[in-house]
Amino acid sequence: MTTRVELAAEQLKRAHASALGALDAASALVAGARAEAERAAKTAYERQVAIARTRAAQQVAQHSSAARDLGIELIGNAGNLLAVADYVTAGTLCLPGADSGVNRDIVAPCILPLIGRGNVVLDLAGETGTHLIRHLIWGAYSGTAPGQVDVIGYDPSLTGLLSPFAGIKAGSESAFTVLNRPQELSQVVDRLVGDVQRVNDLLRGTGDTLLDLRARTGHPVERWQVLVLLDSPEGIDEQAYRQLLSLGKVGPSAGISLVWLTNPEADKPDWWNQGSVEKSAHVLEANDGEVRWRAHPQFTLKIAQPAASDLVSKTDSLVADITSASALSVPFERVQQTETRWTESSADGLTFAVGMSGPRVVEITLGDERQQRHNVLVTGAVGQGKSNLLKVIVHSLCQRYAPGELQLYMLDFKAGVTLFPFASTPGAVDYLPHARVLGLESDRDFGLAVLKHLDDELGRRSRLFRPYGDNISKYRAAVPEPPLPRIVLIIDEFHMMFEPTDKNAEDAAQLLEGLARRGRACGIHTILASQTISGITALMTRENGIFAQFPIRVALKNALAESFATLSQGNDAAARLRVRGEAVLNQDYGVDSANQQAVIAVADDSVLADLQRAWWEAARQSITAPLVFDGAHLIRPSEAVPAIQALRRRVVNEGTAPAALVGYPIDVSGAPLAISLPDDPGRHLAVLGAGERGGGMEGGEDAANNAVGILQTASVSLALQHPDGDANFVCFDLLDPVTARRNNHSEWLHLMERLGYPVQRVEKADVGTYLQRLAGELLEGAAVQRTYLVAFGLDRAPNLEVPDSFAHRPVEDLQTILRDGPVRGVHLLGWWSNAATLKNHLGFGGEGFIESMIMLRLDQAAVQEFLGPFVTWSVRDNRGLVADRTQLSEPTTVVPFAPLLPRDSKTLLKTAWES
């Protein structure tokens, strides 16, 4: 039994054991399978992690490069005139990839909003701060259109940290300034506060920023400014600190940004709150030994370390760009419509456009009774657009007002070409119909003559207005037809009228002052333009001086002293303009608060020429050409044809004595000076001094000898006043062959012959004999024909003072002719290059023999020998001083005639000389 039980137990045990074994085996199998699955899952997981990490690294790289590209796009906008460093780079932001389990470091450029957008605080000490601040400043300059950002540094500890940029001043004075003293800082901060106010006025509460406004108008309105404060709070007092905090808030949108370098180690005064300083700024600071951008503290900042020498050379190359930079141009047609002309009446004033200020067209009104602004002062350094501005003014005026409403008197004291298009030329016959006087290369005498003329006009108008009230508006209301035009006098480089400060300058100042003061009521307005007025301020700004009559100032870019002189002491706005064409318009005598910045329209010459042509076509029937004075122009005999005709008529109709034309007096009459030669004692004409540059008779250019020109023109004009041909012309041929050839002596002889007055020529060697014979006839009382002796270079006549065997000197015959000739119809027209010889020829007691004299290239002492001690004269090209004891009350400056050219002969021969 037992055995069966035991057997069963054994079997159970065995079965149990094999079941357990199977279980173990199964369990081992399961464990193995699990381990295998775990291993596979782990491998897959690790592969996934690796893939994810690689992808992340790729994305980091992509985003980094996208960030870099974005950075380049944000900061890389130089090269266009609206370019501005509204974002600047401060270096590279770095986040080690390992910290985030990424196989690559995360890098991105550190781009900070700056100009027009924000402020920056660098709370950093030492080298790091130095490098960063220089880097940011260079970013501001290089990212902004040349010349359009001004950096003002405040360096109270005299660190010289900004000195690598000092060279920028060569491009624009205002582009870089360093201040050291607290007073200077507070002045600048005051000014910046004013600038913010001005820009806000311009923005008119639209919520726009200056950046928006510039983008909208498409031109560089106002200025960008960056105030860099080093080593703060050093040198900053509480008041400046508070103003700076306000500027920090409102400055960026008005174009003014602050860059502070604050010293983290410095003791701060109680009132200093670093948190407030940093509130409206992006802050870069040191943290854990690294530089960090507070907005992204997980990143470290690797900063660029520009070498000072690199910055200096970059700065130098920027200077060239600043110098040649030009503002975005506003075309003339944008400020002045050109379709409909002459729509305005000048009865109550004159209004013209000059440019744009922000989105608005800038206009100036003269003569308005309410505003009482009537004269304009324009200044600008050479090449800054003064001529262009004057052109814009003239064309805007002329498009609005008909010639009957407006007359222009324009003088240009520089050797420029600004006024040339207003006069007619052989190539373009049209002229500016509004122009009455054009002084192309004016001289002081002509300027004075124009002022005198306008002063007379002032007097005439005052008398005219008297019955109707005290000004032109009232007169025009009472007498609307014909309209009495307003007059605008425009003088370019007017300062030259006051240099040197002599009697002429005093007279000019007095006349101009009177004109500026009394002109408003009479409808006469003055626009004075100059590149430099600081030198003449003493003359002009004395009590009740000229500038007190010029409420409107337009200042183009200029030096600081000129800005002060044009606007007002301390008003440096014109020095801070950056580019040509920008201007400060100030309609309140230059006080700071009235500064308005404008971009002057630019005048395309072809547009202006078309306008002028149309005006001329419309007005030519009713208007005469302006008087054109060109001081450098050589006046040829044929220009005097109308005057010769008038003289000839007078001789024929009224029996007046013939008169010799010698030149044009410097006045606005437009008529040449005629020296009358009646048969009275002393009626001869002597020309003294060298006739051309180069001194002697042989120097100089062709057909430019005024002495020869005067004698040629005098004799031609006299001949034509003898319509019956009853006059002899005798020429003493004393010119050297070169001078004779260069000055068309044969042409003159030929012309005289063809006009019907053949000239009897007396050779050099025969002059003495001729004089002796003629003197003999005069002394004998023989009948003598009317004779004009034309003596070219009497100082060259040989042996006139050498006695012959009877102790008789030919000069005595000359004296006889001079004394007795005129009453017998013998008149001498003589040229003595050497004035001393004339003294000898006249002899003792012969001073009264020649009443009419023209001084050419003689010094003052020589002139005074003949005309007395009170005459002033200096040698000038193309000028003569005419004195005539009976005909002129005082010596008169003329532009003498120049020798004739073949075309003069042609004109003179073609003219119908009716009897």
- CB nearer to ligand ATP: pick between 363 and 865: 363
743 counts as binding ligand ATP under rule CB under 6 A: no
Q: How far is the CB of 325 from ligand ATP (least distance, A)?
A: 10
Confirm whether residue 313 is marked as ligand binding: no
Residue 186 neighbours by CB distance under 10 Å: 16
Asked whether 210 and 186 are in contact (CB, 8 A), the reply is no
Span interacting with ligand ATP, options 288-296, 321-329, 616-624, 804-812, rule CB under 6 A: 321-329
DSSP string for 302-347 = EEP---HHHHHHHHHHHHHHHHH-BPPPEEHHHHS--SS------T
Beta strands per DSSP E along 653-751: 659-665, 673-676, 685-688, 728-732
336 counts as binding ligand ATP under rule CB under 6 A: no
277 closest CA partner among 245, 315, 323: 245
Confirm whether residue 534 is marked as ligand binding: no
380 counts as binding ligand ATP under rule CB under 6 A: yes
Q: How far is the CB of 382 from ligand ATP (least distance, A)?
A: 4
Q: How far is the CB of 459 from ligand ATP (least distance, A)?
A: 34
595-602 and 582-586 strand pairing: antiparallel
- Ramachandran category for residue 894: left, alpha or beta (phi over 0 → left; psi -120 to 50 → alpha): beta
- CB nearer to ligand ATP: pick between 105 and 321: 321
DSSP 857: B
Beta strands per DSSP E along 413-531: 435-441, 486-492, 524-530
Span interacting with ligand ATP, options 325-333, 472-480, 515-523, 874-882, rule CB under 6 A: 325-333
383 counts as binding ligand ATP under rule CB under 6 A: yes
Q: Which residue has tokens 């101009």?
A: 512
Which residues sit opposite 379 in a β-bridge? 530, 555
- CB nearer to ligand ATP: pick between 380 and 891: 380
Q: Which two tokens stand for residue 379?
A: 């200044």
Find the binder of ligand ATP among 89, 263, 388, 705 (CB under 6 A). 388
- CB nearer to ligand ATP: pick between 257 and 388: 388
Helix ranges restricted to H, 368-443: 386-400
Confirm whether residue 381 is marked as ligand binding: yes
Find the binder of ligand ATP among 91, 113, 385, 439 (CB under 6 A). 385
Q: Which residue has tokens 């001329």?
A: 616
495 counts as binding ligand ATP under rule CB under 6 A: no
Q: How far is the CB of 316 from ligand ATP (least distance, A)?
A: 23
Span interacting with ligand ATP, options 323-331, 366-374, 659-667, 773-781, rule CB under 6 A: 323-331
382 counts as binding ligand ATP under rule CB under 6 A: yes
Stated as kind and residue range, the H or E segment containing 538 is: helix 537-541
- CB nearer to ligand ATP: pick between 172 and 531: 531
Find the binder of ligand ATP among 77, 186, 326, 816 (CB under 6 A). 326
Asked whether 560 and 575 are in contact (CB, 8 A), the reply is yes
600 counts as binding ligand ATP under rule CB under 6 A: yes
Find the binder of ligand ATP among 329, 407, 713, 728 (CB under 6 A). 329
Asked whether 554 and 584 are in contact (CB, 8 A), the reply is yes
In order of 123, 365, 581, 666, the CA distances from 606 in angstroms are: 57, 27, 19, 32
Asked whether 228 and 195 are in contact (CB, 8 A), the reply is no
Confirm whether residue 696 is marked as ligand binding: no
CA distance 155 to 232: 9
- CB nearer to ligand ATP: pick between 193 and 438: 438
Asked whether 640 and 661 are in contact (CB, 8 A), the reply is yes
Close Cβ partners of 690 (under 8 Å, ≥ 6 residues apart): 696, 697, 699, 707, 833, 856, 857
Span interacting with ligand ATP, options 154-162, 386-394, 634-642, 672-680, rule CB under 6 A: 386-394
The phi and psi torsions of 232 (rounded to 5 degrees) equal -65, 145
Span interacting with ligand ATP, options 216-224, 227-235, 285-293, 381-389, rule CB under 6 A: 381-389
x/- letters, 261..300, toward ligand ATP (CB under 6 A): ----------------------------------------
x/- letters, 137..176, toward ligand ATP (CB under 6 A): ----------------------------------------
Asked whether 820 and 813 are in contact (CB, 8 A), the reply is no
Beta strands per DSSP E along 185-336: 224-232, 256-262, 282-287, 290-293, 300-303, 330-331
- CB nearer to ligand ATP: pick between 60 and 490: 490
Find the binder of ligand ATP among 76, 182, 416, 670 (CB under 6 A). 416
The phi and psi torsions of 903 (rounded to 5 degrees) equal -70, -25
Confirm whether residue 864 is marked as ligand binding: no
Q: How far is the CB of 585 from ligand ATP (least distance, A)?
A: 13
327 counts as binding ligand ATP under rule CB under 6 A: yes
Confirm whether residue 479 is marked as ligand binding: no
Close Cβ partners of 846 (under 8 Å, ≥ 6 residues apart): 815, 818, 819
Q: How far is the CB of 399 from ligand ATP (least distance, A)?
A: 18
- CB nearer to ligand ATP: pick between 382 and 807: 382
129 counts as binding ligand ATP under rule CB under 6 A: no
Asked whether 155 and 162 are in contact (CB, 8 A), the reply is yes
421 counts as binding ligand ATP under rule CB under 6 A: no
Helix ranges restricted to H, 546-662: 560-566, 605-619, 641-654
CA distance 861 to 850: 19
670 counts as binding ligand ATP under rule CB under 6 A: no
211 counts as binding ligand ATP under rule CB under 6 A: no
x/- letters, 855..884, toward ligand ATP (CB under 6 A): ------------------------------
Q: How far is the CB of 81 from ligand ATP (least distance, A)?
A: 10
Determine the size of the site formed for ligand ATP (CB under 6 A): 17
384 counts as binding ligand ATP under rule CB under 6 A: yes
432 counts as binding ligand ATP under rule CB under 6 A: no
Q: How far is the CB of 326 from ligand ATP (least distance, A)?
A: 5
Asked whether 307 and 297 are in contact (CB, 8 A), the reply is no
DSSP 802: S
Stated as kind and residue range, the H or E segment containing 204 is: none
Counting every residue written for the chain, the total comes to 915
Which residues sit opposite 95 in a β-bridge? 106
323 counts as binding ligand ATP under rule CB under 6 A: no
Find the binder of ligand ATP among 495, 580, 796, 819 (CB under 6 A). 580
Which residues sit opposite 111 in a β-bridge? 89
Between the two ends of the chain, the Cα-to-Cα distance in Å is 187
x/- letters, 806..835, toward ligand ATP (CB under 6 A): ------------------------------
Stated as kind and residue range, the H or E segment containing 788 is: strand 787-792
CA distance 738 to 742: 6
Find the binder of ligand ATP among 118, 581, 631, 821 (CB under 6 A). 581
- Ramachandran category for residue 565: left, alpha or beta (phi over 0 → left; psi -120 to 50 → alpha): alpha
Confirm whether residue 382 is marked as ligand binding: yes
229 counts as binding ligand ATP under rule CB under 6 A: no
Confirm whether residue 367 is marked as ligand binding: no
The phi and psi torsions of 632 (rounded to 5 degrees) equal -95, -10
Which residues sit opposite 284 in a β-bridge? 122, 293
x/- letters, 527..566, toward ligand ATP (CB under 6 A): ----x-----------------------------------
Find the binder of ligand ATP among 292, 386, 400, 722 (CB under 6 A). 386
Q: How far is the CB of 592 from ligand ATP (least distance, A)?
A: 23
**What residues form the annotated binding site for ATP?**
380-387
Q: Which residues of this protein are in contact with ligand ATP, per CB under 6 A?
A: 326-327, 329, 380, 382-388, 416, 531, 580-581, 600, 602
